[in-house]
Structure 1
Amino acid sequence: MADDDRPRTEASDRTRRQQLTPPSLERQPLTARNRAARLRADYSRFYRDEAAHLAGFLIMAFGASAEDAWDATQTAFTSAWVKWATLSDSRKARKAWLRTTASRAYWRLSPDRAHLSNDELPDHPDTSLVPEEVMALADGTAHARVMLDALPQTQRLHLTWHLDGYTNAEIATQTGKNEAAVRKNISRALTTLNLKFKAVSHDQ
């Protein structure tokens, strides 16, 4: 084949491939429909990855039952979907927003929860709707939650944020406290838990 014919042949091949490629496989412009589909897919992936972890956060931070934690998780994700297009693309920032929103939802679902002990809380009617993963998480952390019950609520909340990988500054922003107070609460929580662990080990 002559060299002069090669570019023409390659151009013809490209044209033929384009004609045989289904429109669905071509790179489509970012239309409103495509943008909405991408948002739904992004939200669905994030929900699958994070919903159980969010419920676990509520269980550890507040001693929530699996059922109440799951209710608050669903409420938070519903709110997230409404704002999904405007939320930060940062995964950590999205998780922080959801934790704050779910925490508020948890208390709002039962306004007098603060006046009840865990033993006095009513049974949730929709136990069967809670994913097995969340139920297993609640069962598996029962001992840890007994230890956390010894902490004041603010110390417990800040420690749970800390264990989730957030900095003192980030925790302060999300919980409305100053950074020095967050640092002190985490330090006191860890000291209390350390003393309790030592006491348990000594008893054994």
Structure 2
Amino acid sequence: MRPDGRSGAPSTIDTNASDPLEELDSDLLDFAEWYQNNLGALVWFAMLLGARRHEALDLTHDALVAAYPHWATIARPRAYVRASITRAYRHRRNIADKEFPVDQVPDHVARPDNALDDIEFDDQQQRVLNMIRQLPWRQRQIMAWTLDGYAPGEIAKMLGLRGGTVRVNLLKARNALKNLLVEGGPHA
């Protein structure tokens, strides 16, 4: 039975029917365009936090899936999705840290990622990633946001930290990276 209550095939084809692709919600189109334009940067951001390549892809995917239903109401999607990735990565690290009891709680340094060999980075990107992965969590987190173009005040707001905390950790991170460069750093 047809929606109009009659049975059988319609007697005429509605030539005024619009193309289904034209009817796609503009929010979906905005989301799809934003996704295409930002996916690589989001994966890179997750890797700067310390995620391995496969984990960075998962974190990015999960953050985007969670953001989509609210896409029309997200005022700053760039910051929103990165904050979501940051929270999810930290949550995963907390779970992973709980799985291996130790006498002393070490400052979490990102593990080396052999899967990085499959991605083509230029030499500078590879060196930056290797050096940032050696930083303590908070410094690595703030440096990732900084390299993504955020100012300390914005980072403080997004992460719920005091501005001074962000600036001090950024200074420590920069000093540590400078020392790594002077020492020849990883894979110099």
What TM-score results when the alignment is normalised by the length of structure 2? 0.71
Unmatched tracts of structure 1, length 5 or more: 1-21, 25-32
**Counterpart pick for 2:29 among 32, 41, 53:** 41
Secondary structure of 2:120's match? helix
RMSD: 3.2
Secondary structure of 2:149's match? coil
**Aligned-pair CA distance for 1:138:** 10
Secondary structure of 2:180's match? helix
| Counterpart Cα distance in 2 of 1:108 and 1:72 | 11
Q: Which amino acid letter does the alignment assign opposite residue 41 of structure 2? A: H
Q: Which structure is larger by alpha-carbon Rg, 1 or 2?
A: 1
For 2:127, the equivalent position in structure 1 comes to 143
For 1:5, the equivalent position in structure 2 comes to none
| Counterpart Cα distance in 2 of 1:153 and 1:138 | 24
Q: Does structure 1 residue 197 correspond to structure 2 residue 184? A: no
Secondary structure of 1:166's match? coil
Q: Which amino acid letter does the alignment assign opposite residue 68 of structure 1? A: E
For 2:41, the equivalent position in structure 1 comes to 53
Q: Cα–Cα, structure 1 residues 138 and 103, in superposed 2: closer, same or farther, change >3 Å?
A: farther
| Counterpart Cα distance in 2 of 1:156 and 1:186 | 9
Q: Cα–Cα, structure 1 residues 200 and 140, in superposed 2: closer, same or farther, change >3 Å?
A: closer
For 1:187, the equivalent position in structure 2 comes to 171
Q: 96-105 vs 40-49, which deviates more?
A: 96-105
What TM-score results when the alignment is normalised by the length of structure 1? 0.66
Q: Which amino acid letter does the alignment assign opposite residue 161 of structure 1? A: W
Q: Cα–Cα, structure 1 residues 111 and 188, in superposed 2: closer, same or farther, change >3 Å?
A: closer
Provide the identity percentage: 25
**Aligned-pair CA distance for 1:104:** 1.9
Secondary structure of 1:151's match? coil
| Counterpart Cα distance in 2 of 1:164 and 1:152 | 18
Q: Cα–Cα, structure 1 residues 168 and 98, in superposed 2: closer, same or farther, change >3 Å?
A: same
Q: Which has the higher helix share?
A: 1
Q: Cα–Cα, structure 1 residues 137 and 75, in superposed 2: closer, same or farther, change >3 Å?
A: farther
Contact 1:158 1:182 in 2 (8 A): yes
CA deviation profile, 1:75-133 (whole Å, cap 9, x unmatched)? 00001101111111xxxx21110001112223445643346765599x9xxx8xxxx8x
